[in-house]
Amino acid sequence: MKAIKNDLFLKALRGETVERPPVWMMRQAGRYLPEFMEIKEKYDFFTRCQTPELASEITVQPIRRYGMDAAILFSDILVIPQAMNIDVEMKPNFGPWVPEPIRSAKDLERVIVPDINDTLGYVMDAIDMTKEKLNDEVPLIGFAGSPWTILCYCVQGQGSKNFDKAKQFCFTQPEAAHELLQKITDTTILYLKEKVKHGVNAVQVFDSWGGMLSPTDYQEFSWKYIQQIIDALKDETPVIAFGKGCWFALDVMAKSGASALGVDWTCSPRNARYLTGGNITLQGNFDPTRLFSPPSEIKKMVKQMIDEFGKDRYIVNLGHGILPNIPLENAGAFIEAVKEYKAD
C-alpha cells in the first residue's frame, strides 16, 4: 500500500504525538449535503449502496467540500443481514424494514454465513473505486454494525425506541440468540477482512443499540461478539469500537486490543479518559444536535472539547451521526475549528 499523504488519523490511532487531532464526522457521506441529495433523488437507498460508482462518489463528496482527515465508505450496516439471506428493505420516511423477522430457532435455519465476494462484492468494488478517487490523500475507513445491533433489526423487524422484541428473543431463547449472534459475527469478520484486503486503512464497529442493554446483558449479548471481531482484525488493521450509550463498558473496551474507542456526548472527556485508564485513543463526542448552534459557538465548543480530551490520542468526531438538516456552514465550522486548533 502506498503511503497516505495526510496520515494524521492513522497517527492518532497509533497514539503518536500530533500537531492537532484529526477530524471526521460519522455519517459525513450523506444526507446533509446538497450534492448527495441530487443523487438521492434519482436512486433509492440500497441502489446507492450497491452501485460502486455511486457509493464511491458519495464517499468522496464531503472530502472535496470540507477536507476531513479521513473518508468513510458510504454503505449501510444492513448489507450484512441481506447477504445472510435476511430480506431488508429501506422504506422511505420509515427506515429499515425486515418483512420476515427472525423470531425462533426455525427462522434461523434460512440464515447463512455467506461467501462475501458473492454477496458483497459490490462493496469491495466501491472500495477499489474510492481508493482510486482518494488517490492516497486521506485514509479510508470501512465499517460494520455490531452483531447485537444487527440482531436488533433482524428480530425487531424495524427501528425501535427500546428493541423490546429483540431483547425478549435473547432472554427467552438465548440459544437461538447466541446462534444468530455468532453467525452475524462470523460474517462480519469475513466481511471486514475482505475490506482490509481491498485497502481500507481502519475499520469501525458501530454498536448503535448497545446502550439498550444492562451492563451484565451487554457483556453477554454484545461485547463478547465485538471482542471476537477485534481479536480477528487487530493484527491486520486498526479497529475503532463505538458503543452508543455504553460508557459503562469503557473500562472493559479499553483492554480489548482496539486502537480507539468512540464516545457519545453523555460521557464527559474527563470521565472517558478516567474510565479507559488514559492511554487509549478516544474518538468523539460532540452532540450532533449542537451543530445547530451558531458557527462561532461551535468553534468555541470544539476548542474546549479538544482541550478537555487533550490533542494526542484523540480523534475529533460527533457523538453519533450528523443530522440531515444541519446547515453546511455549521458543519464547516466544526471541521475548521479542528484545523485551526492551537493549544493555549
The one-letter amino acid code at 50 reads Q
Report how far residue 196's alpha carbon sits from residue 302's, in angstroms, rounded to the nearest whole number. Answer: 32
70 annotated among ligand-binding-site residues: no
28 annotated among ligand-binding-site residues: yes
Question: How far from 83 is each of 116, 138, 185, CA to CA, in Å?
Answer: 8, 29, 13
Report how far residue 105's alpha carbon sits from residue 176's, in angstroms, rounded to the nearest whole number. Answer: 5
50 annotated among ligand-binding-site residues: no
Report how far residue 264's alpha carbon sits from residue 219's, in angstroms, rounded to the nearest whole number. Answer: 19
105 annotated among ligand-binding-site residues: no
How many residues appear in the chain? Answer: 344
Report how far residue 266's alpha carbon sits from residue 110's, in angstroms, rounded to the nearest whole number. Answer: 39
C-alpha cell at 279: 492511554
CB 202 within 8 A of CB 237: yes
Q: What is the DSSP letter of 326?
A: -
43 annotated among ligand-binding-site residues: no
3-class DSSP state for residue 71?
Answer: strand
69 annotated among ligand-binding-site residues: no
The one-letter amino acid code at 54 reads L
CB 278 within 8 A of CB 300: no
46 annotated among ligand-binding-site residues: yes
- The CB-side HSE value for 162 (13 A sphere, CA atoms) comes to 4
27 annotated among ligand-binding-site residues: yes
76 annotated among ligand-binding-site residues: yes
Q: What is the DSSP letter of 311?
A: S
Annotated binding site for substrate: 27-31, 46, 76, 153, 208, 320
Which residues define the annotated binding site? 27-31, 46, 76, 153, 208, 320
